Amino acid sequence: MTPTWTDQAPIYQQLADRLAVQLLDGSPPEGEALPSVRALASQYVINPLTVTRALQALSDHGLIETRRGLGMFVTAGARQRLLKQEREQFLQKDWPALRAKLKRLGLTAKDLNWEST
Amino acid sequence: MNTHIPTLLQREWMQHKRGWLIAALAPPLLFLALLPFGEFHGMPTESPELMSIGIVLVTAAVVWGICMLVALFQLPGLARRDTQDRSIEFWLSLPGRPSESVLATVLAHAWLAPLGGAVIGMLFGLPIALGVLGSKMGLAGAMGTNWGEVILAATPVLLRGLAGTVPLLLWLAPLIFVLMAASSWLKRLGVPVVLVGGGVVVAVLYQAYDIAWPLDALKGLNERINHTLIHNGPGLAQAMQQDGSDLVTWALQDFGRALAELASLQFLGWAAVAAAAFALVVMKRARGG
Amino acid sequence: MNNTNLIEARNITLSYGKKTALNDVSVTVPKGRVVGLLGHNGAGKTSLMKALVGLLPVQGDMRVLGLEPTKNRQQLLTELSYIPDVAVLPRWARVHELITLMGKLQPKFSADRARALLKRTSVGESDKVKSLSKGMVAQTHLALIAAIDARLMILDEPTLGLDVVSRKSFYEMLIDEWCDGERSVLISTHQVEEVEALLSDVIMLDEGRVALAISLEDIDRRFVALNHDPAAADAMAAAHPLLRYREQGRTTSLFDGAPPEHITSLGQRVRPSLVDLFMALTRNPALNSKQA
């Protein structure tokens, strides 16, 4: 299924974000190349030039690098950096709002079913 | 320079083969079917060979004539054929000159299809002749006819006719292209307007103003057209009475005379008319009908 | 003229009697692009496409694949593929007959490829065109055209009459087969939202003139869309946006170029959609009355 693109950011940026999330989830695994521009364009049904922009954005953030003749690979430590970045983002921005809401609703840690899932 | 005419001819075959086959096969088949029920009068009964030659020639000529009439009747409408279902836009999106397309249509319908019809008529001619003779003189007598002589004699005349279709087409060209141009530019009213209007103009010029040349030109055209198939009719009748070689001589001479009529001012004039009308048809097609 | 541009048109004007279909239109299409040609009815999209394939003579300089369209029409047609309309296949023909004829007329046509593409549809080779539904005729036409190995594809509303699944299938084929960096596609369509992600460039025609000719990349850079509370409406209006529209209680103002800093801080930046831009830049009386 082709995902729909929101209006929150340019399409290339949204694609870059999606690919970053996949990187975090371990796809592609360490040492394996990212799918080619054409493969990604085909998968998401987007113009290859947009895919190139998205990959460029990831490269600019140091998350991926091009190895000549082999393709694009996740840079060493990228996942850790990305994880750290996402954690910062969550703790600084998303968590305070969520915690305030939990307090408002009177929910405690016990109600949260932390261990399951 | 590559031409697409062979492919365009193939298109005509694909689109119209059913109609062509019906026009060519129905008459002889019908005739064969009705044979047992008919009676024949007014045939040269002295010689079964002569009768057979006549039947073969007539069958070929009739089938050819029917196909030719059908073609002449359809050609003006064919000028608008692709605009009606808008497929002209499809053809124009592919390589292929509009001029070749128009030419292929005329060649296919007014020359090749009737020619095919003539061949089919020829092939049916022998069984039909057999059938007619059989009903007159019994099967034994019919089988006894010298079919070799029949074929030998009919062949030069048939070939003369087939060859004559080339100059015939050239003389018919002005009529064909003028009517096609009328149909493509003026749509349904085109042909009636041109025929009736043209006829009126020629008649008025002649009767009211004593201007005879348009009428004479048309008469001359008609004569030339008749000559293309058989120039020297009496000569043919005479040669038929004699033996085979005279027919070959007759055929060659006759064809020569028909060709000679092409080398005339008359032909140039009519060719110019044909060329102008052809240009009009091509122009309309190039613009998408 | 730049040799890598597949289309170079400068100052093209086309008039029919009193009506001017194209007015000083200049268009450049490099290789490896998917260009969307947008415009309301009568804006000149079809006229431009017909001019590009040599069907209409125009004033001005036009080179398509290095050739002058009207002068070298036959040669040009062997190197590009063109869909004027997906409803114009000859109704008398069977599909395999069309394959045969196209194979002989168009040197870059591959019958095997056409058959392979047709297998993806429910159209059979022995079907007569007149027995097919509108959508199936469109699918057949697309399959036949896609089997031409052309450097430039000019498609006038190729997805008209197709259902969602067939449209998707067509877009996937477009990306898979035609986006190799060497070929370009010029496609006019009304389904702007659907094709937005496929395009690399867009040309908007408005009453015969080019309202905007820009790459999608540059749209993100040049145009600023700010989503804001209705309260900020007056401040926004004072900065002269191109267009304002309301959606679910929030208003979005669209600016050509960055508005002053104090305006930007009043709202949240969002992506200007192609549809919004199109509505802002082209005249369509029916829609203008709906503006915020």
Interface test with C, best of B4, B10, B94 (most C CBs within 10 A): B94
Chain B environment of C104 (Cβ under 8 Å): 4, 6-7, 10
pLDDT tops 50 at residue C292: no
Shortest alpha-carbon distance between residue A12 and chain C (Å): 9
Q: State the average pLDDT over residues A48-55.
A: 93
The position carrying tokens 């042909």 is B191
CB-based burial label for A46 (10 Å; 0-12, 13-18, 19+): buried
pLDDT, greater one: B156 or C81 = C81
E strands, C34-160, in order: 34-39, 59-64, 80-83, 152-156
Taking an 8 Å cut-off on Cβ atoms, the answer to whether C90 and B97 are in contact is no
Phi and psi based region of residue B197 (left: phi greater than 0; alpha: psi -120 to 50; beta: remaining): alpha
pLDDT (tens digit, 9 = 90+) per residue, B185-219? Answer: 998 888 899 989 888 888 888 888 777 778 888 88
Q: Mind telling me how many Å the CA of B190 is from chain C's nearest CA?
A: 24
> Chain C residues with CB inside 8 Å of B14's CB?
93, 97, 101
pLDDT of residue C289: 47
- The structure tokens listed for B125 are 């001619």
Q: Write out pLDDT tens, residues C51-104.
A: 999 999 999 999 999 999 999 999 999 999 999 998 899 999 999 999 999 999
**Cβ neighbours of residue C92 closer than 8 Å, sequence gap 6 or more:** B15, B85, C128, C129, C130
Interchain contact C270–A (C-beta under 8 A): yes
C-alpha angle C202/C208/C211, rounded to 5°?
40
- Residue C152 in tokens: 């430039």
- Comparing alpha-carbon positions, the chain C residue that sits nearest to B286 is C55
Cross-chain CB nearest to C106 (options B15, B94, B97): B94
Contact present, B and A (at least 3 Cβ pairs less than 8 Å)? no
Of C164, C118, C165, C121, the residue nearest C145 (C-alpha): C118
Predicted ipTM of the assembly: 0.89
- Which residue has tokens 């190995």? C149
Neighbouring C-beta atoms of residue C244, cutoff 10 Å: 18
Is any Cβ of chain A less than 8 angstroms from the Cβ of C175? yes
Q: What is the largest CA-CA distance in chain C?
A: 67
Rg of chain C (C-alpha set): 21
A47 vs C34: CB contact, 8 Å cut-off?
A: yes
C82 at interface of B, judged by CB pairs closer than 8 A? yes
Mutate to test the interface with B, among C71, C74, C98, C109 (most CBs of B within 10 A): C74
Sort out which chain C residues have CB atoms less than 8 A from A4's CB and list them. Answer: none
Q: Does C171 touch chain A (CB under 8 A)?
A: yes
Evaluate whether C166 touches C141 at the Cβ level (below 8 Å). Answer: no
Beta strands C80-83 and C152-156 are parallel
Helical (H) or strand (E) element with C12: strand C5-16
Cis bond before residue C90 (omega within 30° of 0): no
pTM of the shown model: 0.86
Show residues of chain B in contact with C93, CB under 8 Å: 14-15
Confidence grade of residue C112 (pLDDT, cut at 50, 70, 90):
very high
Q: Which residues of A1-36 are buried (b: 16+ CB within 10 A; e: fewer)?
A: eeeebebebbbbbbbbeebbeebeeeebeeeeebbe
**Secondary structure (DSSP) of chain B:** ----HHHHHHHHHHHHHHHHHHHHHHHHHHHHHHGGG----S--TT-HHHHHHHHHHHHHHHHHHHHHHHHHHHHHHHTTHHHHTTHHHHHHTSS--HHHHHHHHHHIIIIIHHHHHHHHHHHHHHHHHHHHHHHHHHHHHHHTS-HHHHHHHHHHHHHHHHHHHHHHHHHHHHHHHHHHHHHHHHGGGHHHHHHHHHHHHHHHHHHHH---HHHHHHHHHHHHHHHHH-S-HHHHHHHHHS-HHHHHHHHHHHHHHHHHTTSSHHHHHHHHHHHHHHHHHHHHHHTT-
Chain B residues touching C154 at Cβ < 8 A: none
User: Cβ C179–A38 below 8 Å, yes or no?
Assistant: yes
Q: Which two tokens stand for residue C36?
A: 């969307």
Average pLDDT of B86-104? Answer: 95
Q: How many CB atoms lie within 10 A of CB A65?
A: 13
Name the residue with higher pLDDT: A112 or C217: C217
> Residue C62 and residue C59: Cα distance in Å, rounded?
9
Among the partner-chain residues B4, B14, B95, the one whose CB lies closest to the CB of C97 is: B14
Nearest 5°: the CA angle B32, B35, B36 is: 125
In whole angstroms, what is the distance from residue C161 CA to residue C129 CA? 15
Report DSSP state, residue A111.
G
Q: Write the DSSP symbol of residue B43.
A: -
What amino acid occupies position B284? K
Taking the CA of residue B181 and the nearest CA in chain C, the distance in Å comes to: 20
Alpha carbon B172 to its chain's center: 9
Judged by a CB distance cut-off of 8 A, whether residue A11 touches chain C is yes
> Does C175 sit within 8 Å of A42, measured CB to CB?
yes
Segment among A47-51, C33-37, C236-240 with least mean pLDDT: C236-240
Interface test with A, best of C198, C245, C271 (most A CBs within 10 A): C271
- Give the model's pLDDT for residue A1: 41
pLDDT (tens digit per residue) in C135-159: 899 999 999 999 999 999 999 999 8
Establish whether the linkage from the previous residue to A28 is cis, with ω within 30° of 0.
yes
* Physical contact, C and A (3 or more Cβ pairs within 8 A): yes
Per-residue confidence (pLDDT) for residue C23, from 0 to 100: 93
B28, two tokens = 């002889």
pLDDT tops 70 at residue B243:
no
Cβ-Cβ contacts under 8 Å, C275 against chain A: none
* Among C81, C105, C108, the residue to mutate for chain B (most B Cβ within 10 A): C105
| Token pair of C280 as six digits | 């802002």
A37: contact with C, CB 8 A cutoff: no
Residue in C161, C157, C207, C214 with CA at minimum distance from that of residue C187: C157
Q: Find where tokens 């694949």 sit.
A: C65
Chain C, 167-226: which have a CB under 8 Å from a chain B CB? none
Local confidence band at A14 (pLDDT 50, 70, 90 cut-offs): very high
Q: Is C109 helix (H, G, I), strand (E, B) or coil?
A: strand
With CA atoms as reference, report the closest residue to C255 among C247, C266, B81.
C266
Q: How far is residue A88 CA from its own chain's centroid?
A: 14
Residue C202 distance to chain A (closest CA, Å):
13
Asked whether the predicted pLDDT for residue B57 surpasses 60, the reply is: yes
Cα-Cα-Cα-Cα dihedral of B85, B91, B92, B96, to 10°? -150
Helix (H) or strand (E) holding C45: helix C45-52
DSSP bridge partners of C22: C14
The SS3 assignment for C214 reads strand
Between positions 90 and 129 of C, the ones with CB within 8 A of A are: none
Q: Which of B82-91, B101-110, B148-157 has the lowest mean pLDDT?
A: B148-157
Question: Which residue among C176, C197, C270 sits closest to A42, beta carbon to beta carbon?
Answer: C176
What gap in Å lies between CA A72 and CA A52, rounded to an integer? Answer: 11
